[in-house]
Amino acid sequence: MVYVLVNLLDNLEEEKMKNFKELLQQSLADNQMESLMPSREYTENERIYMQGYNDALNDMLEDFLAEYDEFMKNTYSPSLN
């Protein structure tokens, strides 16, 4: 019973992480498209802010991809404690 519960939690956690990764990737793609073909005219401050925001999203994705396997390995491990 505990093993089944742990597997269920692992699957749920993995699905959440995949969704997060896909959301990050889609946000980056949308923002890059907006910077290439703006839907409106942006001020210089808005363009600077958008570039910083995209850089932060890129950093988050790089960190996520670099640490994902280790995170999943340590998230739910069977324990009697």
Q: What is the pLDDT of residue 75?
A: 66
- For the entire predicted model, the pTM comes to 0.71
Q: What is the pLDDT of residue 70?
A: 81
Full pLDDT tens readout for the chain, 81 residues: 555 555 656 677 778 888 999 999 999 999 999 999 999 999 999 999 999 999 999 999 999 999 888 877 776 666 555
Query: Measuring CA to CA, which residue among 67, 42, 68 is closest to residue 54?
Result: 42
* Cα diameter, the chain: 59
Say how far apart CA 79 and CA 65 lie, in whole Å: 26
Distance of CA 31 to the CA centre of its chain: 15
